[in-house]
Chain A
Amino acid sequence: MTTPIIEIENMTKTYQLGGDVVHVLSNVSLRIEKGDFLAIVGPSGSGKSTFMNMLGCLDRPDSGSYFLDGREIARLNDNELAVIRNEKIGFIFQNFYLLPRLTALENVELPLLYRGVKTKERQKKAYECLEQVGLLERAHHLPSQLSGGQQQRVAIARALVGNPPILLADEPTGALDSKTSQEIINIMKGLNEQGHTIIIITHDWEVAKQAKRIVRIQDGHLFESRGDLVGISSVD
Chain B
Amino acid sequence: MDIYLKAGVISLEFLQSIKMAMRSIQGNKLRSFLTMLGIIIGVSSVIVLISIGQGSSKAVTEQINQLGTNLLTVNVMNSDIVKLTVEDAEKFRKIAGVKDLAPVVSGRVNVRNGNTSTQVSLIGTTASYETVRDVQVNQGRFLSDIDVDYRQKIAVLGANTAQTLFGIDNPVGQYIQVDGTSFKVVGVLASKGGSMGQSGDDVILLPLSTAQRLIKNTNVQTLYIQGKNAEQLDWVMAEVERTLMRMFPDHQDSYSVFNQQDLMDTMSSVTSTMTMMLGGIAGISLLVGGIGIMNIMLVSVSERTREIGIRKAIGAKRKDILLQFLIEASVLSAFGGVIGIALGLAVGQVLSKAIGLSVSYSVSVSLVAFLFSLAVGIVFGVFPASKAAKLDPIRALRYD
Partners in one complex: yes
**Chain A contacts to B: CB under 8 angstroms:** 53, 56, 58-59, 78-79, 82-83, 85-87, 91, 93, 97, 99, 101-102, 110-111, 113-116, 118-119, 158, 162
Residues of A within 8 A of B393 (CB): 58
**Complex contact A114–B318 (CB within 8 A):** no
Distance between A131 CB and nearest chain B CB, rounded to angstroms: 20
Distance between A181 CB and nearest chain B CB, rounded to angstroms: 22
How distant is the Cα of A176 from the Cα of B20 in the complex, in angstroms?
30
How distant is the Cα of A79 from the Cα of B397 in the complex, in angstroms?
17
Query: B393 — nearest CB in chain A belongs to which residue?
Result: A58
**Complex contact A99–B317 (CB within 8 A):** no
Q: Given A56-B313, A97-B306, A78–B24 Cβ distance below 8 Å? A: no
Distance between A210 CB and nearest chain B CB, rounded to angstroms: 25
How distant is the Cα of A119 from the Cα of B14 in the complex, in angstroms?
12
Residues of A within 8 A of B317 (CB): 78-79, 82-83, 114
Near A by CB (< 8 A), chain B positions 277-302 give none
How distant is the Cα of A95 from the Cα of B16 in the complex, in angstroms?
26
Residues of A within 8 A of B394 (CB): 53, 58-59
**Complex contact B13–A116 (CB within 8 A):** yes
**Complex contact A110–B314 (CB within 8 A):** yes
Q: Given A58-B393, A118-B12, A99–B318 Cβ distance below 8 Å? A: no
Residues of B within 8 A of A93 (CB): 310, 397
Candidates B315, B318, B397; contact of A115 at CB < 8 Å = B315
Candidates B9, B20, B307, B314; contact of A114 at CB < 8 Å = B314
Distance between A102 CB and nearest chain B CB, rounded to angstroms: 8
How distant is the Cα of A113 from the Cα of B310 in the complex, in angstroms?
14
Distance between B378 CB and nearest chain A CB, rounded to angstroms: 22
Near A by CB (< 8 A), chain B positions 36-74 give none
Residues of B within 8 A of A58 (CB): 313, 393-394, 397
Distance between A64 CB and nearest chain B CB, rounded to angstroms: 18
The yes or no answer to B320 lying at the interface (CB within 8 A) is yes
**Complex contact A114–B306 (CB within 8 A):** no
Residues of A within 8 A of B319 (CB): 79
How distant is the Cα of A46 from the Cα of B309 in the complex, in angstroms?
23
Q: Given A53-B394, A101-B23, A116-B9, A82–B307 Cβ distance below 8 Å? A: no
The yes or no answer to B27 lying at the interface (CB within 8 A) is yes
Residues of A within 8 A of B309 (CB): 97
Q: Would you list the 7 A-B pairs with minimal beta carbon distance, nearest first?
A: A86-B315, A114-B315, A82-B317, A97-B310, A111-B314, A79-B317, A85-B315
Near A by CB (< 8 A), chain B positions 308-342 give 309-320
**Complex contact B12–A78 (CB within 8 A):** no
How distant is the Cα of A58 from the Cα of B314 in the complex, in angstroms?
10
**Complex contact A91–B314 (CB within 8 A):** yes
Residues of A within 8 A of B13 (CB): 113, 116
Near A by CB (< 8 A), chain B positions 220-234 give none
Distance between A123 CB and nearest chain B CB, rounded to angstroms: 11
**Complex contact A85–B307 (CB within 8 A):** no
Residues of B within 8 A of A97 (CB): 306, 309-310, 313, 397
Residues of A within 8 A of B9 (CB): 116, 118
Candidates A56, A79, A99, A118; contact of B310 at CB < 8 Å = A99
**Complex contact A114–B320 (CB within 8 A):** yes
Which of A111, A113, A158 counts the most chain B CB atoms within 10 A?
Answer: A113
Residues of A within 8 A of B20 (CB): 102
Distance between B324 CB and nearest chain A CB, rounded to angstroms: 11
How distant is the Cα of A162 from the Cα of B314 in the complex, in angstroms?
10
Residues of B within 8 A of A53 (CB): 394
How distant is the Cα of A56 from the Cα of B319 in the complex, in angstroms?
20
Distance between B304 CB and nearest chain A CB, rounded to angstroms: 9
How distant is the Cα of A58 from the Cα of B313 in the complex, in angstroms?
7
Q: Given known contacts A78-B317, A101-B24, what 8 new A-B pairs fall within 8 Å (CB)?
A: A58-B313, A79-B318, A79-B319, A83-B317, A85-B315, A86-B314, A97-B313, A113-B16
Distance between A107 CB and nearest chain B CB, rounded to angstroms: 9
**Complex contact B318–A110 (CB within 8 A):** no
How distant is the Cα of A165 from the Cα of B311 in the complex, in angstroms?
19
Query: What are 8 sample pairs from A and B whose C-beta atoms fall under 8 A apart?
Result: A78-B318, A79-B319, A83-B315, A85-B313, A85-B314, A111-B315, A114-B315, A116-B13
Distance between B14 CB and nearest chain A CB, rounded to angstroms: 12
How distant is the Cα of A59 from the Cα of B306 in the complex, in angstroms?
17
